[in-house]
Structure 1
Amino acid sequence: MNKKNILINLLAIVCFISCKNKDVQEPVEEVKANTFDVIVDLNIQKDDELILFYKDASIAYFDEKNTVYNGVKGKAEAQTITFSIPEGILPNDIRFDISSKKEQQPIKINSIALSYNGKIFKVEQQDLLKYFTPNEFINFEAATGTASFTEKEGNYDPIFNTKPAIYVELEKLEGKQL
């Protein structure tokens, strides 16, 4: 091999390595929004749309503007559904609409966790009724955490409202002094 071929091969290798290194990027840490999340672990058999309503001190009633929708694919095994409230909003109350479909099979709620700023408050299945109240469209079996649904006078709106015990936990998550 002559010097010219060696030099060309050497330049080609340097160029190849140099170009290849430009494609390699340093890992960039993903900046995530500091959101208040409600994480529901449940068994849901049929596709549905679950809705989380939230309010803060600036509003008195739950409304359509302050909602997070979450379409769910039904399946036999448990799944986790996360509702992220928009960044900068710290709720003082929530409402969980557990089903939008009249033909929904019973849903088993394994737990509901509230998460904010690295803190988590988890309500296990056996404690659901301590923190949440099912409305008249839900027949709730506390022993199994199973909600079945009923229509009343042509209406269907199964909701879990919060009980006062949850407000203390919301304040703790938000770092408010009690």
Structure 2
Amino acid sequence: MMKLLKYCLFFLIIGCVSCETDKNQKNNYFPTIEVKNEERQLKENEKHFEIELFLKVLKDDIFECFYTTEGMNEGFSGTKKIRTKVFGSVEFQKVTFSLPKNIFPSKFRLDIGENYKQDKIYIKDIIIKYNGNSIEINSELISAFFSVNRFLKYDETIGVFITSEINEKWDPFIVSSALLNKKIEIEL
């Protein structure tokens, strides 16, 4: 009962209080994400914020990462984005977005595909890295830490996004939630 109260408090103040759980115990109501210190040390002037996606797409595509640096009210723009080509494969692959040196985003958006014929997009993990620390988000936690727009449906049991066209429009993307943004600010 006390542990559940701690989890509720954690989510209410959006990451301002850290809770620790026994790694052998699973709690399906309030999943946690794991923060790891990497062994390598980065030089102070070589800090790079990275977002790694472990995904599978069957057709070639273009993915984009938009980010803001001026706070939560700043909108996304084409001047702060990174594009990367993703090759269709039946195997999972790693796609990495490396923001420019010393940029720490206040929020970010992942546009997961420009190919209208891309039906399903499988994302197994999203790993966010900065200054030797990382946050891992597995497929079961994506919906807790990202908002999905209306052009996507997400099945967390198998980690698949299904794209759809609405009124002849199509723009599938996910946006980091306020909870994730605060967690990144505190832990990275």
Q: Same fold (TM over 0.5)?
A: yes
Equivalent residue letter for 2:75:
Y
- 1:3-62 deviation line (CA, Å, top 9, x unaligned): xxxxxxxxxxxxxxxxxxxxxxxxxxxx89421000000111110000000001267110
Question: Once the 2 structures are TM-superposed, how far is the Cα of residue 172 of structure 1 from its aligned partner?
Answer: 2.5
> Where in structure 1 do 4 or more consecutive aligned residues deviate above 6 Å?
none
Equivalent residue runs for 1:2-41 within 5 Å: 33-41=46-54
For 2:113, what is the secondary structure of its paired residue? coil
Partner SS state of residue 170, structure 1:
helix
* CA distance in structure 2 between the partners assigned to 1:169 and 1:67 by the alignment: 22
Alpha-carbon distance in 2 for matches of 1:173, 1:71 = 30
Deviation string 1:95-122 (CA, Å, 9 cap, x unpaired) is 0101111100301110111100100001
d(CA) in 2 for partners of 1:69, 1:121:
22
User: Helix, strand or coil for the counterpart of 2:123?
Assistant: strand
Task: Tell me which amino acid in the other structure corresponds to 2:60.
Answer: D
Aligned pairs for 1:92-171 (under 5 A) are: 92-171=106-185
- Corresponding residue number in structure 2 for 1:28: none
- Residue 67 of structure 2 corresponds to residue 67 of structure 1: no
Cα distance in 2, alignment partners of residues 74 and 143 from structure 1? 22
Q: Which runs of 5+ in 1 are unaligned?
A: 1-30
Alignment gaps of 5+ in structure 2: 1-42
How many residue pairs are counted as aligned between the two chains?
Answer: 144
Secondary structure of 1:155's counterpart equals coil
Matching residue within 84, 87, 90 for 1:76:
90
User: Deviation at 1:130?
Assistant: 0.6
Larger radius of gyration: 1
**For residues 132 and 59 of structure 2, what CA distance do their matches in structure 1 show?**
32
Partner SS state of residue 140, structure 2: helix
Q: Which amino acid in structure 1 is aligned with residue 179 of structure 2?
A: A
Q: Decide which moves more: 58-67 or 111-120.
A: 58-67
Q: 1:173: how far off? A: 4.1
Separation in structure 1 between the aligned mates of residue 126 and residue 60 of structure 2, nearest angstrom: 19
Tell me, in whole angstroms, the C-alpha distance in 1 between the residues paired with 2:99 and 2:183.
17
Query: Retained in 2: the 8 A contact 1:53–1:67?
Result: yes
Aligned mates of 1:93, 1:55 — CA distance in 2 = 6
TM-score by length of 1: 0.77
State the Cα RMSD in Å.
1.6
Task: Tell me which of the two structures has the higher relative contact order, counting C-alpha pairs closer than 8 angstroms and 6 or more residues apart.
Answer: 2
One-letter code aligned to 2:54: D
1:55 counterpart = 2:68? yes
